[in-house]
Amino acid sequence: MVIATMATSVFTTWANLRDALLDKLASRDFATLKGNVAGNAIEYSSQAEFMQLLDRARTMAALETGQISLRVYAQNGGRG
DSSP secondary structure letters along 9-65: EEE-SHHHHHHHHHHHHHTT----EEEEETTEEEEE-SHHHHHHHHHHHHHHHHHHH
- pLDDT band with cut points at 50, 70 and 90 for residue 43: confident
Give the integer Cα–Cα distance in Å for 73 and 3: 32
Instruction: Check residues 75 and 80 and name the one with the higher pLDDT.
Output: 75
Domain, as residue range, for 37: 4-78
Q: pTM of the prediction?
A: 0.67
Instruction: Examine the pLDDT at 68 and tell me if it is beyond 50.
Output: yes
For the chain, the domain total comes to 1
- pLDDT band with cut points at 50, 70 and 90 for residue 8: very low
Average per-residue pLDDT for the chain: 75
Instruction: Examine the pLDDT at 32 and tell me if it is beyond 60.
Output: yes
Give the integer Cα–Cα distance in Å for 56 and 64: 12
